[in-house]
């Protein structure tokens, strides 16, 4: 998990956050919710599965590294990152097809 792209840097940020919460005597972790995403390439079914696997992998990593109980976690996969998909479509429409978009003004 730590050797992919910038995962090591992101995991360090997460580690610092979890450590600061656990070191605060007034703070209690009551739940952790993880949502996974995938890029828009591939089929919807494959991306839904991949995003769920990513969320579960992060859950397992956090649970194992910090010794947190299973019942704290919920996770889900959302499939494609819809914002990226919409952004890619807008770029395609505006740049590759020479179209214009009027967002309107009040």
Determine the Cα–Cα distance for residues 9 and 1; give it in Å rounded to an integer: 11
In a domain, 102, yes or no: no
In a domain, 66, yes or no: yes
In a domain, 104, yes or no: no
Q: Residue 4: is its pLDDT beyond 60?
A: no
- Partners of 38 in the beta sheet? 80
Predicted TM-score (pTM) of this structure: 0.68
- The more confidently predicted of residues 74 and 80 is 74
In a domain, 93, yes or no: no
Determine the Cα–Cα distance for residues 69 and 99; give it in Å rounded to an integer: 53
- pLDDT computed for residue 44 by the predictor: 83
What's the domain count of the chain?
1
Element housing 62 (H / E): helix 44-66
For the chain, give the mean pLDDT. Answer: 78
In a domain, 76, yes or no: yes
By residue count, the chain amounts to 106
In a domain, 27, yes or no: yes
- pLDDT computed for residue 70 by the predictor: 94
Greatest mean pLDDT among 2-6, 7-11, 54-58, 94-98 = 54-58
In a domain, 101, yes or no: no
Q: Residue 101: is its pLDDT beyond 60?
A: no
Helix (H, G, I), strand (E, B) or coil at 105: coil
Q: Please work out, in degrees rounded to the nearest 5, the angle formed at the alpha carbon of residue 8 by the alpha carbons of 58 and 26.
A: 65
Determine the Cα–Cα distance for residues 73 and 31; give it in Å rounded to an integer: 6
In a domain, 35, yes or no: yes
CATH number of the domain within which 47 lies:
3.30.1330.60
Q: Residue 8: is its pLDDT beyond 70?
A: yes
Q: Give residue 15's domain range.
A: 7-81
């Amino acid at each position: 998990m730590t050797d992919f792209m910038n995962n090591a840097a992101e995991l360090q940020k997460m580690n610092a956050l979890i450590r600061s919460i656990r070191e605060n005597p007034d703070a209690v972790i009551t739940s952790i919710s993880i949502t996974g995403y995938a890029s828009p390439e591939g089929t919807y079914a494959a991306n839904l599965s991949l995003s769920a696997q990513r969320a579960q992998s992060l859950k397992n990593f956090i649970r194992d590294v910090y010794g947190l109980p299973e019942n704290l976690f919920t996770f889900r996969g959302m499939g494609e990152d819809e914002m990226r998909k919409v952004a890619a479509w807008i770029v395609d429409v505006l740049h590759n097809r020479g179209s214009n978009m009027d967002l309107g003004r009040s």
